Amino acid sequence: MSGAMNEDWQENARMIVDSARAVVPADGNLDRIRKARFHGSGFDRDVMRQAAELGWLLMRVKEDSGGLGLGMRETCALMELLGGGLVPEPVLSSIMAASLLQEALPEAALAGEAVIVTAWQDRTGAQDWRGGSAGGRLLGQKLNVPGAAGADLFAVITGDGIAVVPRDANGLTVAGEETLDGGRTGLLTFNGVEVDFLPCDRVERVLQDARLAHSAYLLGLSERALAITLDYLRVRKQFDRPIGSFQSLQHRATEMKIRLELARAAIYATARRFDTGADDRTCSRDAARCKLRAADLAMLVAREAVQMHGAMGITDEADIGLYVRKAMTEANLFGGPRQQRATLAALLDQEDAA
pLDDT in tens, 123-136: 988 889 999 999 88
Side-chain-side CA neighbours of residue 336 (13 Å): 11
What pLDDT does 4 receive? 44
| Beta strands 184-194 and 137-146, pairing class | antiparallel
**pLDDT 10s digits, 161-214:** 999 999 999 999 999 899 999 999 999 999 999 999 999 999 999 999 999 999
Residue 244's Cβ-side half-sphere holds a number of Cα atoms within 13 Å equal to 14
Cα–Cα distances in angstroms (integers) from residue 301 to residues 254, 256, 314, 340, in the given order: 11, 7, 13, 19
pLDDT at 327 over 70: yes
- % the chain with pLDDT above 90: 78
Cβ of 55: how many Cβ atoms within 10 Å? Answer: 15
CATH 2.40.110.10 residue ranges of the chain are 3-194
Nearest to 146 by CA among 292, 324, 333: 333
What is residue 243's predicted lDDT score, i.e. its pLDDT?
73
What is the structure's pLDDT at 245?
67
To which CATH superfamily is domain 3-194 assigned? Butyryl-CoA Dehydrogenase, subunit A, domain 2 (2.40.110.10)
- Measured CA angle at 79 (ends 72, 68), to 5 deg: 45
pLDDT exceeds 60 at position 2: no
pLDDT bucket at 3, cuts 50 / 70 / 90: very low
Angle formed by the axes of helices 280-309 and 203-235, nearest 10° = 20
CATH topology of domain 203-353: Butyryl-CoA Dehydrogenase, subunit A; domain 3 (1.20.140)
The percent of residues above 70 in pLDDT, for the chain, comes to 97
Q: Where in the chain is the domain with CATH 1.20.140.10?
A: 203-353
Strand-pairing partners, residue 286, are none
* Single pTM value for the model: 0.94
pLDDT in tens, 104-152: 999 999 999 999 999 999 998 888 999 999 988 999 999 999 999 999 9
Cα 25 to Cα 27: distance, rounded to the nearest angstrom:
5
pLDDT digits (tens, 9 = 90+) for 212-238: 999 999 999 999 999 999 998 887 777
Task: Report how far residue 254's alpha carbon sits from residue 69's, in angstroms, rounded to the nearest whole number.
Answer: 38
The strand pair at 153-158 and 116-119 is best described as parallel
- What is the pLDDT confidence band of residue 68, given thresholds at 50, 70 and 90? very high
CA geometry: angle 150, 105, 156, nearest 5 deg: 60
**Max alpha carbon distance in the chain (Å)?**
73
Q: What is the DSSP letter of 111?
A: T
